Amino acid sequence: MDRVSQVCRRRHLSRRTEEAYRYWIRRYIYFHDKRHPVAIGAHGITPFINDLASKQNVAASTQSLALNALLFLYRDVFELEVGQLEGLKRIQRPARLPTVLSVGEVRDLLSYMSGTPRLMAELLYGTGLRVTEAMTLRIKDLNLQSGTIHVRNGKGAKDRTTLLPLRLRESLQSHLLRVAALHKEDLSKGTGHAPLPGALHRKYPNASRSLGWQFVFPSKTQRACPETGRLLRWHASETTVQKAFRTALERAGIHKHASVHTLRHSFATHLLADGTDIRTIQLLLGHRNLKTTMIYTHVHQAVRDTVSPLDRL
């Protein structure tokens, strides 16, 4: 498992991907009575993946994740040839449309939120950021003058620039003043460090105490760094906005199966409805393939003003 982590970090995979791969590799080993994967051989992948489909009734995306983890294990960690997986039964992925809130529903939802969780939700809806991207934003990534946000190391380890709504500039400025005051208090106590990506803490030892490297949404507590032992102030947990979102959804009487990520879908759909070019939406969302963005054209067609034949009677 240590080798799995080493290869994941060498290939700059995200911590979540690493955790998911380790989980499914562990499940795979237990499925084969705790035998070593090399002793099992790549032919052991098929019965495990088929068991997930036939007995565990997992979703298609879950089965794909488990398969990717095992292919990564054999090909990248052990450097073994997998070959053709005979008899592999893949679950058909359903062609589902994403859940989208109407403009009125977003307005009602936000009215039942307050404080920092509301600012987080407004940022997600106003920019189309993923919740992880919003939580890991640094102060230096915001440009209030030009109205832009620089997203670093997003999904697929890609950087991109997206818009910063005019409506949020004043509230964000007030929020950043509170973050700066908290950072100043940390500095007075001899702490004030933020975790830096990769090995930047060795190349720029003083950067972690600069205001620009602090998270826009910092955690309320500081935790000790496992390597250096010094206290670090990480970003706030994603559950901060997720819990507030679920509560607001219930209080607003919205009965759709929605999550915080629904705000990103709503951002794209509402832009499309207002006539924004699909290519521009692709760039703002950070999609690698235009086909991924094209799904919002189907959502828009489903919600646009179409007269039913019954109304023509």
- DSSP, collapsed to helix, strand or coil, labels residue 267 as helix
Both ends of the chain: CA-CA distance in Å? 67
pTM exceeding the 0.75 threshold for the entire prediction: yes
The yes-or-no answer on residue 189 being catalytic is: no
69-105: per-residue pLDDT in tens? 999 999 999 999 888 888 888 877 766 778 899 999 9
Domains, the chain, with CATH or none: 2-77 (1.10.150.130), 103-299 (1.10.443.10)
Could you give phi then psi for residue 295, rounded to 5 degrees?
-60, -25
Would you put residue 190 in left (φ > 0), alpha (ψ -120 to 50) or beta? left
d(CA 17, CA 142): 27
Catalytic residue among 155, 160, 169, 300: 155
pLDDT digits (tens, 9 = 90+) for 95-125: 677 889 999 999 999 999 999 999 999 999 9
Cβ distance 214 to 139 under 8 Å?
yes
For residues 48 and 108, give the distance between their C-alpha atoms in angstroms, rounded to a whole number. Answer: 46
Catalytic residue among 118, 201, 270, 287: 287
Is 235 a residue of the active site?
A: no
**Annotated catalytic residue 261:** yes
Active site residue 155: yes
Using DSSP, state whether 204 is helix, strand or coil: coil
Following DSSP, what letter does each residue of 134-156 receive, concatenated?
HHT-BGGGEETTTTEEEE-S-TT
- Amino acid (1-letter code) at residue 37: P
Active site residue 16: no
